[in-house]
A and B are shown apart, each in its own frame.
Chain A
Amino acid sequence: MSSIEIRLRSQLGDFSLDVSFETPARGVTALFGRSGSGKTSVLRAVAGLVKTPQGLVRVNDEVWQDENRFRPAHRRPLGYVFQEASLFPHLSVRRNLEYGWRRVPEQERQIPFHDVVELLGIGTLLQRTTQSLSGGERQRIAIARALLTSPRLLLMDEPLSALDHGAKQTILPYLESLHDEFTIPSLYVSHDPNEVARLADRMVVLEQGKVIAEGDAATILTRLDLPLAGYDDAASLLEGTVSSHDHTYHLTWISTHGGRIAIAREDLPVGRRARVQIQARDVSLSLRAHSDTSIINILPAKVIDTHDISQTQMLVRLEMDDGQTLLSRITRRSALGMGIREGMHLYAQVKSVALLS
């Protein structure tokens, strides 16, 4: 039973929470939704910080709570990163890190102290007082502090939302490497589609205390019936592997089963998994595979469905030969001119690709 199962039902005044989902016990599952959708309530219930009268929380084969049992938070092997770093002000940085670490029996410590310090780049901060740290540094310490308890589930409640843009950009790579370095499953609460695109493997979308969609992040982010694709920066995610480097033109090729994609040269080993993001507005459509165009990335695809987003523009959801989804934003006029309809085969011309990880 390598999965995480969560079923919660509770009534808090006007707000009712009725959430039920199961997600694989690996990778990052994003709990996505607007503020007030119940994301944080779910996380707090999973942590045991609030008691939900009817609830089931199971992590692999360990039941943390059901109708009869309730393990208090300090007996659940989890790590929790709060929105604000919430470091203990009366303890030094090192003491903060050691707080949880020392409370875990030695034989259960699976993550060495130094690995965490190194991964998060906090070696030089250890002797400092928490008051002297910047927002980004504080959050890195908080993440390290949670990791040092060797958690079996990592819960993160919008860990970047209290940070400015610059600090956010410096922490994201740490979160990504976390994912590669340790095999701790995590639940990541966020309302930012870009953050989710970069970090999440799976998504659970919440609205008014209920799950409205769940599945692979790449699928959910491009579903036209969900509010996500309606954002101006609607985008799709493609997964592939680094297949070769072009030294002459300074390109890196990433191959998927549905076609290969060139990005600006990146120093990545061949065979490494790569995730790229493609903005819907950067994808144009063509009935034939042109060779007389400046665009390098041309992928064959099939139209799945379409959705008008304004009186001028529409989103077209395409499926590549390997089943991955691509979103294209074109004008309704072009769609009419090309006779775009479901099931039609055409070519997606991708003008710009961003490497996420």
Chain B
Amino acid sequence: MAVQPASTEIATRTASIIQEFKALEGPLLPILHGVQGEFGYVPQEALRVIADELNLSRAEVHGVASFYHDYRKEPGGRHVLKVCQAEACQSMGSDATTARIKQLLGIDFHETAKDGSVTLEPVYCLGLCACSPSAMLDGEVIGRLDNEKIDEIVEAVRS
């Protein structure tokens, strides 16, 4: 599991991300993306720095950050696997493929493997319905999940 950086370091690194995006119109989401990219999650301390810099309240920044499940509160695994649970995938058997993935990785949704290799998350539609059931590994979409592909994914995240 990733080591969490000290809070002063978070503040400094967050501040430089803010400077990068501050001039944009509606800079909050790009900044949160930047922070998640930098740390792998959105540290609570970063939210305070963002609120102060953008002249927003802590409540407002928290409201936005907590609205999006993609912004994680704790560090995730080295890989993030999202498995689609939406209607099209369900009709193409995502229940079974999901169960298999959970079993092979030994974790449930919203959990990270003990060795820190992977975090498993549900996602509701990747816009890839034509290739259901689908998943996304570290930002790359994978269509037509079957046992073979699942084995490949498991192997990839374990290595």
| Co-complex (A, B) | no
| B interface, CB within 8 angstroms of A | none
